[in-house]
Structure 1
């Protein structure tokens, strides 16, 4: 069974998060549209929407309405400014500010591991219409690239027991709690960034952000050493960071 999570353990700098975290590949929009049969009548809840990194991919699926919910108002402020037509509401996965059976799809990008517990599953089940769907998405680094693997090892050293996708504890909830088996698909993509932006990305992880300054300096010094070995994109000062976007879907089952 997945563990109970205290969302207060997640804390990061909003500016760093918005600046450094990757967008999502264009192909994920086709996945949303085709996997969940989205059309002009669909109402989608983006749960744990943050600053709206994933929101453009939902908008591109052309649903009737998008409702963005996040526990951090300062993140929603960023999303609201970028996408004024999205209905932004403060709330958590354990207390979703929506009526029963009011949405066709709940999407969680880069966040489900933070609230992977029975209480959240009950709430998601409650707000979904009969036969509604749940989509879970994560951007994961491609650790088959040697320097990326080294960066991931640094993160793993400091992550410890912090909730994460890579623990797979979140997957223990399926099938169950009113939802069927998970279906899976993956989308490779890459982005170019400077070494300075790589440092900002490192700071955007909550367990790095919360480190004492002296320890944080050690992390960035280690990252600088790795950066010396990374090939630059031709005729630039940028490096290529490779990802796999991992997408999972499940369907609400009839109440027993």
Structure 2
């Protein structure tokens, strides 16, 4: 619900931002984030939704298998196995990821010129975005367009939302995604990421709201770490002669 409230404030057309002109009307995100419960107390999705499961999604993480079982039990959910295009690893790899750095850097050019220390240890990647040539930028835009078509015409031909193991490629393409907790692994929180088609934030919220209505992982916190008692080391006091000798 917090995500829905914040997104309602931030998203949609803004009269002060010409880049938002022509955006579709923002749906009722708070309603989307409100679980639907039948008169018999059964949680269901607001609309039938096909959830894509990519190859290797459950590999090595038991909580992801439990997530799929819980989702499959929700009325309105259909799990669909998804296959990625053959050039998927190339399009989402580090080489392409570096080529898009100019998009991330552009809004911050002013602050990069004023004070590099504000960007911490990642300053080199921010500067790299300023140093790409025009040819590299055009190549990156072509690859980005190809990747967008691969996503929309590939996985989204068979599903409405897609489970992911990382934010890529939805963060690259500016497509909506949402992260949510699904349990603990070795005492540490484990989460999942759900990606959607353009302007489908409400559908993502509907799925996560239904999942959180039948689980309580979002209300739990990991155990506090056990701190070892600090052992006080008592050092013998040195006289002036001994201190001078020790520092020589």
TM-score by length of 1: 0.21
Higher relative contact order (CA 8 A, sep 6+): 1
Q: Greater strand share, 1 or 2?
A: 1
TM-score by length of 2: 0.22
Structure ID, larger Rg: 2
Q: Greater helix share, 1 or 2?
A: 2
